[in-house]
Amino acid sequence: MSMLSAGQYLPHESPMVLLDKVISVTAETALCSVVVSENSVLAPFLNERGALPAWYAIELIAQTVGVWSGWHGAQSGEPPQVGMLLGGRALKTSVPEFAAGSELFISVLMVLCDEKLASFEGVICIKQEKDNLQVAKGRLNTYQPDKDELIKLIQGKQE
């Protein structure tokens, strides 16, 4: 399966794309990666130690959900669509920051999906020689507005 860069599946522009590689996408999962480095897409968001604060976990997981959605849309010839993060549940990190030089693997698993609402379990692991170290986990709930809903939301109009 040939994959494009993560940015090709997201409706974001640089510097707001926080993922480098799309490793795999299936009917219910997506796996992406990014390196915490001044030479990566994360460079604008790193702290003085060159680390990424752990609170970025929610956006890394959300963008992996976006890659999942964008990849599936691309299979039908659709461009990436704007999605909305409704909230997160039980999002926990075991580290205060993702250290400089770390390679992060972000995976999502669809738990529930209907026409517009979806829920995904997300996990972030740091690559290690033997077993990868899980450093973040949580569930994100998302909403996929159609074009008319998006216009109303942007313009602030109500029915």
Whole-number pLDDT of residue 157: 54
How would you class 151 by CB atoms within 10 Å of its CB: exposed for 0-12, middle for 13-18, buried for 19 or more? exposed
Whole-number pLDDT of residue 98: 97
Whole-number pLDDT of residue 80: 84
Yes or no: say if 142 and 84 are a contact pair by the CB < 8 Å rule.
yes
Low-confidence ranges of the chain (pLDDT < 50): none
Q: What angle do CA 36, 41, 42 make, to 5 degrees?
A: 45
Percent of the chain with pLDDT over 90: 63
104-121 tens-digit pLDDT:
999 999 999 898 899 999
